[in-house]
């Protein structure tokens, strides 16, 4: 500021009775939301007006995207099932090997190692069976 006094905030002017005039301000807030792969219908109309055929291209793009999502989800489910089956096969193979080893140890007279191996493997198989039944009922 050049050459003058600085002005400070002045109090509100008083009316004839000496009271300050209150100032009212009204604020209106409007919110709108839209969710989904497609723009709002008004926007689609606007796009179509600017570029004929744009609406069809937008719908085609949304359909391709949905098809891609379905394909990816199907692959994920298929891989999860494959992973679960592989784990079951490996668990079965390990349990069968432990039972066979325990049976062999019992046959050659090694009682305690046979009991530990057979009891541990059979106990684990039985516990897994009951756990799967309990989670099946919970769902």
Q: Tens-digit pLDDT profile for the chain (139 aa)?
A: 455 566 665 555 555 555 667 778 888 888 888 888 888 988 999 999 999 999 999 999 999 999 999 999 999 999 999 999 999 899 889 989 988 999 999 999 999 999 999 898 888 888 888 888 887 665 5
Residue 23's pLDDT is 78
> What is the model's pLDDT at position 45?
92
Within 10 angstroms of residue 40's Cβ, the number of other Cβ atoms is: 11
Which range of residues forms the domain containing residue 94? 41-138
Q: Which two tokens stand for residue 118?
A: 């057979």
Residue holding tokens 């796009």? 47
In a domain, 85, yes or no: yes
In the block, tokens 């807030």 appear at 29
pLDDT for position 108: 93
| Total of domains in the chain | 1
Question: What's the pLDDT at 1?
Answer: 47
In a domain, 12, yes or no: no
Integer Cα distance of 20 and 94 in angstroms: 89
In angstroms, the CA 126 to CA 49 distance is 68
d(CA 62, CA 39): 10
């Amino acid at each position: 500021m050049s050459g003058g006094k600085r002005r400070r905030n002045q109090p509100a002017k008083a009316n004839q009775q000496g009271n300050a005039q209150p100032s009212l301000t009204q604020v209106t807030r409007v919110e709108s939301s839209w969710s989904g792969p497609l723009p709002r219908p008004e926007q689609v109309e606007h796009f179509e007006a600017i570029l004929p055929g744009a609406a069809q291209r937008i719908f085609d793009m949304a359909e391709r995207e949905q098809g891609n999502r379905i394909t990816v989800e199907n692959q994920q489910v298929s891989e999860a099932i494959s992973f679960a089956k592989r784990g079951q096969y490996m668990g079965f193979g390990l349990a069968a090997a432990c039972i066979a080893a325990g049976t062999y140890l019992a046959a050659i007279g090694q009682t305690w190692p046979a009991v530990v191996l057979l009891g541990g493997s059979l106990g684990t198989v039985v516990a897994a069976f009951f756990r799967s039944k309990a989670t099946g009922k919970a769902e």
